[in-house]
Amino acid sequence: MTPEGKVKQDIKTVLKALNIWFYMPVQNGMGTVGIPDFIACHKGQFLAIETKAPGKKSQVTANQKNCLEAIERNGGWAVVVDNKQDFEVFLATKILEKHHGKIHP
């Protein structure tokens, strides 16, 4: 498994454990350029997650950056992560703030 693949697996594990719906778009040239690795929704909140290999978090392409910014402009959450812990912190601050300390489904 590649280093980025390991991060993706960790993110899937966290999303499943929290019962957060998600989808991983297949990159086949027919979809949206720059679409994040995960599209998720939790209690009506849209979430986009772009994963990178550890230490590569800053290597977001221009298309990825544009897509993540468009999601945020439209009220969604967008995050780039290169490890499980950063993703858990992101979820805790966003979801816990919105749902009064409850991260349960």
Q: Please give the domain boundaries of the chain with CATH numbers for all domains.
A: 3-98 (3.40.1350.10)
33-76 pLDDT tens trace: 889 999 999 989 999 999 999 999 999 999 999 999 999 999 99
Nearest CA to 105 out of 7, 21, 2, 22 is that of: 21
pLDDT at residue number 86? 93
Q: What letter does residue 48 receive in the DSSP assignment?
A: E
The torsion defined by the Cα of 51, 73, 98 and 43, in degrees rounded to 10, comes to: -70
- Residue type present at position 9: Q
